[in-house]
Amino acid sequence: MSSKVAQTKGDDLSHPAKTFRKYFKKLQSAGIQWQSKTDPINWLEHSLSSLGCMLSIGFMALLSTHYGVPLMIPSFGASVILIYTAYHVPMAQPRNVLGGHFISAFAGVLIYQLYSNDWWAIALAVALAMSLMTLTGTIHPPGGATAFIAVYSGQNFSFLFAPVAIGSIILISIALLINNLSSIRKYPQYWL
């Protein structure tokens, strides 16, 4: 009976060699060739992204240092790269930036408050953050680092608002100003 169930799902577990071949075939390239550059650099766009990055990271460094959590700078830094270089993708939209960081901070603080900052608590917090972001449709990869930081540095629930929510709002605000200076960019693509 178990082989019937396996066959209905497309896998034949009774033939391990066949299963392994199928698994490793997934690791092969789909035949798409990667190209390092296809378009010439638009220096105006590149300059706008650089300006936005510099302003955003400057404000995040001030904010994170003011609140005594300098470890937040790398997490916000990853957000900045998304906001200015992949501004059109869902993970860079305001809902995902604010929601992803906030939900991840909540997961991290909750796990720290319930357990500790042991290695397994950090892993649990990041996994919980990933699950919550997925369930709420607010996937923002830098949020994983926010959850890590909350546990690792032993934060309380005020961390959700300062520096996380305030920092996210500042990032979004600067991105709204800088990204929309360009005639070819539109940010955000959506709000909610």
pLDDT tens, position by position, 41-76: 899 999 999 999 999 999 999 999 999 999 999 999
What is the pLDDT, as a whole number, of residue 21?
84
- Sort 166 into a burial class: Cβ within 10 Å, 0-12 / 13-18 / 19+: middle
Question: What gap in Å lies between CA 175 and CA 56, rounded to an integer?
Answer: 8
On the question of pLDDT at 36 being above 70, the answer is no
Give the total number of structural domains in the chain: 1
Count of alpha carbons within 13 angstroms of residue 94, beta-carbon side? 16
Structure tokens at 37: 């550059």
54 is in which domain, residue-wise? 43-179
Classify residue 185: in a domain, yes or no. no
Higher pLDDT, 7 or 85: 85
Classify residue 186: in a domain, yes or no. no
On the question of pLDDT at 183 being above 80, the answer is yes
The confidence band for 18, taking pLDDT boundaries of 50, 70 and 90, is confident
Classify residue 114: in a domain, yes or no. yes
Classify residue 30: in a domain, yes or no. no
- Sort 80 into a burial class: Cβ within 10 Å, 0-12 / 13-18 / 19+: buried
| Interval 122-175: pLDDT, tens | 999 999 999 999 999 999 999 999 999 999 999 999 999 999 999 999 999 999
What is the pLDDT, as a whole number, of residue 60?
96
Q: Three-class SS of residue 31?
A: coil
Q: Three-class SS of residue 25?
A: helix
Matching residue, tokens 């990271």: 57
pTM of the model: 0.84
Comparing C-alpha atoms, which of 62, 191, 132 is closest to residue 146?
Answer: 132
Classify residue 92: in a domain, yes or no. yes
Question: What gap in Å lies between CA 123 and CA 66, rounded to an integer?
Answer: 27
Higher pLDDT, 16 or 30: 16
The confidence band for 184, taking pLDDT boundaries of 50, 70 and 90, is very high
Classify residue 35: in a domain, yes or no. no
Q: pLDDT averaged over the chain?
A: 91
| Interval 94-118: pLDDT, tens | 999 999 999 999 999 999 999 999 9
CB 184 within 8 A of CB 45: yes
Question: What gap in Å lies between CA 151 and CA 126, rounded to an integer?
Answer: 9
Classify residue 189: in a domain, yes or no. no
b/e per residue, 124-140, with b = 16+ CB within 10 A? bbbebbbebbeeeebbb
Classify residue 187: in a domain, yes or no. no
